[in-house]
Amino acid sequence: MTTNNFVTIGSTRDQISGKVFKACLEDHGIECLAQGDNHRSQLGLLGPYIEIRFMVPEDKAEDAKKLYDEFFEQNETPSSDHSDLKKRKKQGIAIIFSIMFTFGTGHLYAGSFYTFLILLSIELAAIISQMYFINKFSSLIVLGVVLYDLIGSFIKIRKQNLENK
């Protein structure tokens, strides 16, 4: 099968809707290629970033486009769900930065550059102190900086989300 005479009629990022829509087209006798569907499955957590494009033969494109418009108009999710998801995603990224990369990166992601610099300086000083002076409190200082970054960046992003409502 060649894709030379196939045209793209639309796309989605929702894999379940994509599979249902492809089945709908095939029930109407329209051959459909769901480009990107296999890649989504293989990439695991990165899969949702891949768009599924629906490709149909040129001679069936008008009918398929009508079905596409009807299907995705009925199955459209409210935009508030997407904005809530984006807000939670931003908070999650700040948490990951705070825990995985430390050094105040949660605050950097949240937009607090000066707080990031202060936390970076404190954490570096504590690590250097621990390396050269074997100070018992240095570990507690590093832990405190990480916790402050974690909680502070989460609160900052939460405030930003509330202001944007």
Write the DSSP assignment of 6-50 as a string of letters: EEEEEEES-HHHHHHHHHHHHHTT---EEETHHHHHHTGGGGGGS
Q: Are 32 and 54 in contact (CB under 8 A)?
A: yes
Strands of the chain (E only): list them: 6-12, 33-35, 52-57
Q: Residues 128-143: pLDDT tens digits?
A: 888 888 777 888 888 9
Cα–Cα distance for residue pair 141/144, rounded to 1 Å: 5
The structure tokens listed for 26 are 């095939």
CA distance 64 to 53: 13
Percentage of residues of the chain with pLDDT beyond 90:
22
Give the model's confidence band at 45: pLDDT under 50 very low, under 70 low, under 90 confident, else very high: low
Q: Which SS3 state, helix, strand or coil, does residue 55 take?
A: strand
pLDDT at residue 148, rounded to an integer: 93
Task: Report pLDDT digits (tens) over 94-148.
Answer: 888 888 888 888 888 888 889 999 999 999 998 888 888 877 788 888 899 999 9
pLDDT-based confidence at residue 82 (cuts at 50, 70, 90): low
Domain ranges of the chain: 6-74, 79-163
**What is the DSSP secondary structure assignment for residue 76, as one 8-state letter?**
P
